[in-house]
């Protein structure tokens, strides 16, 4: 995505250029490297999951979905965590950078969370015999986490003063993030009420090629999150700049009208025009 730098070079746009260099695209050298790395890792995971690895002794062919689902289920917390860090940075230091990172983190996190739930449901149907199980606390809390941030994104879309909205969003994000430790520990807390298997990787049950495929899955999802986060962050940054340039343009137009003495479009003097 590219946007024209400055549509009217004769008008001064001081605040847009003073605070930071004007971005012209959502891609950068970093996102290009991340994107190429992500594409390569997707190919490698597909090869590892479908050709190189063997079916599992107990799960059979279903284990192949594991290489996508498990990394998603674990790394989905990273964007939400970045959203929390960004929110704290905003509340503490009034950091615009933190606010944009929080927004980007929430959006990418919701996508990852939804993918986790979908891949989990597809995996659960043949493994557990059901797409969804309401008594599984981990499933339900992941769903709640997803819904919490759907609300967060809805709040961010409500028009209004960006600073006020950023404060409100930061509080909502922190409230939502109090839920995450509960989710992470829930498998242990409500042990008798979960279908989830406990830390297969930690117990050393996964070996060799399967471990390699899982590792590749983690790299793929990690690169994907980094790629999407960086792009989303830069889109938000560009949107802020467009807003500022638009405001500066409007102010410059008014000043130009004032300088010519008469507002030609309405046919009034600047004093009268200024009272509109």
Residues that bind another protein (CB under 8 A): 91, 140, 144, 147-148, 150-152, 154-155, 158, 160-161, 163-164, 167-168, 171-172, 174-176, 178-179, 182
Report d(CA 242, CA 163) in Å as an integer. 16
- Nearer residue to another protein within complex by CB, 43 or 175: 175
Phi-psi bin for 133: left (phi > 0), alpha (psi -120 to 50), beta? beta
Nearer of residues 190 and 237 to another protein, judged by Cβ:
190
Shortest Å distance, C-beta 268 to another protein: 33
Q: Which of 250, 252, 249, 235 is nearest to 23 (CA)?
A: 235
Give start and end residues of each alpha helix (H) in 94-132.
96-128
Closest approach of Cβ 157 to another protein, in Å? 9
Partnered with residue 60 across adjacent β-strands are 56
Nearer Cβ to another protein (47/147): 147
With a CB cutoff of 8 Å and minimum separation 6, the contacts of 126 are: 62
CB of 95 to another protein, least distance (A): 15
Minimum distance of another protein from residue 173's CB (angstroms): 11
Beta bridge partners of residue 56, listed in sequence order: 60
Closer CB to another protein, 20 or 175, in the complex? 175
């Amino acid at each position: 995505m590219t946007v024209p730098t400055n549509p009217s070079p004769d008008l001064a746009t001081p605040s847009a250029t003073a605070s930071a260099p004007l971005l012209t695209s959502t891609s950068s050298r970093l996102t290009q490297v991340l994107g190429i790395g992500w594409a390569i890792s997707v190919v490698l995971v597909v090869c590892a999951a479908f050709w190189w690895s063997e079916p599992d002794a107990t799960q059979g062919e279903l284990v192949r979905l594991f290489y996508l689902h498990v990394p998603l289920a674990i790394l989905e917390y990273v964007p939400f965590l970045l959203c929390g860090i960004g929110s704290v940075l905003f509340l503490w230091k009034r950091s615009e950078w933190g606010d944009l990172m929080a927004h980007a983190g929430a959006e990418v996190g919701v996508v990852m969370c939804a993918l986790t739930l979908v891949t989990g449901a597809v995996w659960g149907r043949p493994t557990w015999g059901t797409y969804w199980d309401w008594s599984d606390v981990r499933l339900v809390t992941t769903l709640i986490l997803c819904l919490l941030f759907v609300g967060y994104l809805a709040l961010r879309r409500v028009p209004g003063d960006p600073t006020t909205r950023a404060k409100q969003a930061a509080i909502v994000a922190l409230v939502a993030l109090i839920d995450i430790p509960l989710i992470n520990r829930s498998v242990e807390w409500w042990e008798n009420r979960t279908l989830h298997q406990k830390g297969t990787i930690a117990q050393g049950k996964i070996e060799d090629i399967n471990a390699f495929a899982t590792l590749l899955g983690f790299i793929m999802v990690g690169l994907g999150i980094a790629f999407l986060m960086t792009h989303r962050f830069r889109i938000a940054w560009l949107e802020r700049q467009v807003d500022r340039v638009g405001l500066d343009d409007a102010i410059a137009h008014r000043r130009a009208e004032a300088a010519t003495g008469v507002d030609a479009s309405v046919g009034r003097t600047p004093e009268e025009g200024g009272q509109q």
